[in-house]
Amino acid sequence: MIDAYDDWDATEMARQVAAGAVSAGELLDEALARVERLNPSINAVVLIQEEAARRAIDRGLPEGPLRGVPFLIKDLGCEAIDFPSHNGSRLLANTRYSYDSAIFERIRATGVVTFGRTTSPEGGIGAATESAVYGGPTRNPWNLDHTPGGSSGGSGAAVSAGIVPAAHGSDGGGSVRIPAASCGLFGFKPTRARLPDGPAAGEGWAGMAIDGFLTRSVRDSAVLLDACAGADLGAPYWAPPLGAGFMAALQRPPRRLRIALCDTTLTGEPIAPEARAAVLDAAALLESLGHSVVPARPAADTRGMMAAWTKIVACGTALGIRSTLAARGRDLGEDEIEAVSRSAMDHAAGISGADYLQAVGKIHAYGREMAAFLRDWDVLLTATLAEPPARVGRFSHRDRDYVDYRLGKGMIFDYSPFCAAFNASGQPAMSLPLHWSDAGLPVGVHLAAAFGADEMLMALAGEVEAARPWAGRRPPLARAGAAA
């Protein structure tokens, strides 16, 4: 039965384990064998803890919905006693934790067998994954000259390559949806505070960051989100309660929706022909399903939001680095962080407390503007990225000014002008793998909904997946790895 590994999503793998057709140990063996075959090409899986995974199996896995499925967690956050982390940085290399984070506890309770971590850029502030601590860039299984995105690029590459059927990620400016779009996967960012941040933090990046997952199937994301949703003890705020949950939403199609179509950026600039083609094709598909699709664009101050986002993330980067140094009682070494992070610290030094609060206020105002737009529409349809996946090196953290890296011409916000809008607004958003360029690179389609409307958006994802299935479309690297 292990020969069917590539045909199973995580939900089906768990069903096979429950039926006795395959064991958790056999699935772990296969995942580790695939790491050995495929990871030298993509550099996505790091810090493997095989003994911890074997111990978990031997102790008896929780009777959760994904019992026995091999799994990977992002090497940024998701603190876990058994899983040391580099956090994408030489400064934080081999960090060990004395506690398990709430998100990891909930992931573990699903019954998955976590055996390692996946690469991320330093500080999680890039749309590519090329951190120096991993010895080289992480590459896209669809074309090794291109990035799998960031900051959950390692998770995107590992799932796309077929090493695991699902992996953990996080999203503070598109960091789940960008890899999903780049790697031909499904990525869902839930409403702000839908998932726990504790116990070490109450929020990330002024509430803009949230955990999530990279999956091949919509139902795998639904299962994981159902298992992990809900505030943890002492959370500073909660998301609106779910109804019957994400999986239940997949059992019924959504009502026919009013969908706003934006085939430019949110500020009206043109996007690459491949990205625009993806949007228009998705619009035609949605219309064929009976939804109303009408051109419309939010009047929100997206440029102002991007500037505020850049200030908040600079301050968050500086806080993380300085807290580490203070705990160690020493100064920063010359080569311990990369140029973008060092520049972010310098930028943060010039931001006063009043400036920071003004930036947070701008983010809140933007959320109100986007909420007002979605009073008249159920969903906003755009591309996920303004162009197909970038080449490796374009968004390297070496020798770069932080503000230019984010806001400069041709840089991150030009490349990814849609995703961060919904980190700022807190609204749920997702990337669907509905289009490929003529060169064979995935081009994601992005859909966002009103605050708290997660289940409606998930139901729409399930309807679109049923109408145009994508799971059988796999990168050449995955096919070669399965055949080896």
Instruction: Give the tokens for residue 286.
Output: 């949605």
Report the distance separating Cα 309 and Cα 295, nearest Å.
27
pLDDT in tens, the chain (484 residues): 678 999 999 999 999 999 999 999 999 999 999 999 999 999 999 999 999 999 999 999 999 999 999 999 999 999 999 999 999 999 999 999 999 999 999 999 999 999 999 999 999 998 999 999 999 999 999 999 999 999 999 999 999 999 999 999 999 999 999 999 999 999 999 999 999 999 999 999 999 999 999 999 999 999 999 999 999 999 999 999 999 999 999 999 999 999 999 999 999 999 999 999 999 999 999 999 999 999 999 999 999 999 999 999 999 999 999 999 999 999 999 899 999 999 999 999 999 999 999 999 999 999 999 999 999 999 999 999 999 999 999 999 998 899 999 999 999 999 999 999 999 999 999 999 999 999 999 999 999 999 999 999 999 999 999 999 999 999 988 877 666 6
Residue 39 is which amino acid? N
> Does the annotation count 352 as an active-site position?
no
> Does the annotation count 151 as an active-site position?
yes
Question: 193: closest CA among 429, 446, 432, 428?
Answer: 428
Geometric angle at alpha carbon 379, from 375 and 380, rounded to 5°: 100
Residue 168 β-bridge partners: 213
Residues in the chain: 484
> Does the annotation count 74 as an active-site position?
yes
Residue 392 β-bridge partners: none
Q: What is the CATH number of domain 2-483?
A: 3.90.1300.10
Catalytic residue among 89, 151, 160, 343: 151
Q: For residue 99, what are the contacts with CB-CB under 8 A and spacing of at least 6?
A: 79, 81, 199, 200
Whole-number Cα distances in Å, 408 to 151, 347, 357, 366, 414: 19, 15, 24, 21, 8
Q: What tens digit of pLDDT does each residue of 273-332 get?
A: 999 999 999 999 999 999 999 999 999 999 999 999 999 999 999 999 999 999 999 999
Q: For residue 167, what are the contacts with CB-CB under 8 A and spacing of at least 6?
A: 71, 72, 73, 74, 118, 152, 155, 156, 158, 159, 213, 214
Q: What residue spans define the domains of the chain?
A: 2-483
Query: Is-above-0.85 flag for pTM?
Result: yes
Catalytic residue among 155, 160, 175, 396: 175
